[in-house]
Structure 1
C-alpha cells in the first residue's frame, strides 16, 4: 500500500472551559513521531453544527444543512479517527454525540480509537463511544488511552495544572498499543474499501 492512512484526531468537547486542548496537543505531538500514518487535529468548535434535524441519516437521504455537509466532507478525508473525549454523566459529550449523528457513510469501515480524560479516564464514555461506532459501521479499537486518577489531577486545572510530560511515561505504553492497532486496522480497511469501491 503506497498511501499512508490519514487519521483525524477529533476534539470532542466545545465548552469554553474544556481541558481537551492539552491532551489533544500531546496526542498529536506523539502521533506525529510515527511514519506509518499522518494525523490532523479536527476541532468540533470549527464546525457550527446544529442539533441533528435532517429528514434521516445521510445513509438514506443526503443532508440538507450546509453545515452538516461541510462536516461530512471533512470526515470523508480520513481513513480513521481518534476521539479525544471527556466523560459527561458516564458518556460522551452532547456535542460529540451530535457530531457523530451528523454523518453516517463517512464513518463506515474505518477504525475508531479514543483518548479519554477525567477521574476514571473517561472509561465509561469510551465504552459508549465503542457502541456508537459499531452502529456507524466503524471498527472500534480495543486499546485506548485513559488519562485518569492522580495523573489527570496532576495536569488538569482542577489539580496542579502541570505539563503532560509529567505523566506521559504512564500514558505512552497505552498510546503505542492504540496507535499500533490503529495502523493495522487503517491499512486493512483502506485495502478493503479500495477493493470494493
Structure 2
C-alpha cells in the first residue's frame, strides 16, 4: 500500500471527513475506518471526522433557528469553517444521497466556499456514483470545487471481511491516493489564493 504524501513544503491541510449516513445498522463506519486508516498515513493532512449520526439537523431551514437547532449547528459549523478541504463519504439512497447530508449542506454556505471536496461512495451495483454526481451539482452552487477522482465501492458489503479490512485493497488504495493527491493540490492552491485575495463569493 502506497498512499504517502507527495513532496510538499506547505503546512498540513485540515481535512474534514464527513460520514453522511445516520441510519441504524449503516455500513458507512466500515468504509470510514478503512479510509481514515489510509489518510492517517499522509503528512499533508490533519484529519477531522464528522459523523452525521451524532447530529440532528432538521430539513426545514429557518432564518431564526430554535435553540435546539443552534445547539446541533454548534456541533458541526465551527468544524466545517475550520476545514481546508472535505471528503464526503456517502451511500446511495433511491438514486440520491441521504437527507442527513442535504440538511448539513443546506444549513451552511460560507463554510463550503472555495474549498475542495472529494467523494467516497458505496452501495449496490452503482457503487453510490449516482449520489456523487448529484452532489457535484449541489456543491457547485455553493462555490466549492469537487475533485475528479473518487473512491467507490460496488456491492460494498461483500468487499470487506468481518474485521473491516478490504479483501483486495490494491485498487481502492490507489483510488484513495489519487483523490487525496488532488485534494492536496487544490487545497493548497485555494488556501494560498484566499490568503492573497478574499474569495469573491
Q: Is the 8 A contact 1:154 1:162 kept in 2?
A: no
**Higher mean C-alpha deviation, range 71-80 or range 84-93:** 71-80
Contact preservation (8 Å) 1:153, 1:161: no
Residue 70 of structure 1, CA deviation: 4.1
Report how far residue 170 of structure 1 moved: 2.4
Matched with 2:173 is 172
What residue is the counterpart of 2:55 in the other structure?
Answer: 47
Stretches of structure 1 that go unaligned for 5 or more consecutive residues are 56-61
The equivalences for 1:82-97 within 5 A come to 82-97=87-102
Task: Select the residue among 32, 37, 46 that pairs with 1:29.
Answer: 37
Cα gap change, 1:178 to 1:74, in 2 (>3 Å): same
Aligned residue for 2:193, secondary structure, equals helix
Matching residue of 2:148? 142
CA distance in 2, matches of 1:29, 1:161: 16
Q: Distance in 2 between matches of 1:114 and 1:74?
A: 18
Root-mean-square deviation over aligned CA pairs: 1.9
Deviation of the 1:161 alpha carbon:
5.1
What are the equivalent positions in structure 2 for 1:2-21 lying under 5 Å apart? 2-21=10-29
The size of the alignment, in residue pairs, is 186
Residues 27 and 157, structure 2, Cα contact 8 Å, conserved in 1: no
C-alpha offsets along residues 121-164 of structure 1, whole Å, 9 cap, x if unaligned? 10100001111110111001110001114xx24246xxx75633
Structure 1 residue 184 and structure 2 residue 185: aligned? yes
Q: CA deviation at 1:63?
A: 6.2
Q: Secondary structure of the equivalent of 1:27?
A: helix
- Structure 2 CA distance for aligned equivalents of residues 17 and 102 of structure 1: 26
Match of 1:110 among 115, 120, 124: 115
Contact 1:155–1:163 at 8 Å: present in 2 too?
Answer: no
| TM-score, with structure 1 as normaliser | 0.87
Indicate how the Cα distance of structure 1 residues 106 and 162 shifts in structure 2: closer, same or farther if over 3 A, else same: same
**Aligned partner of residue 33 in structure 1, secondary structure:** coil
- What TM-score do the two structures reach when normalised by structure 2? 0.85
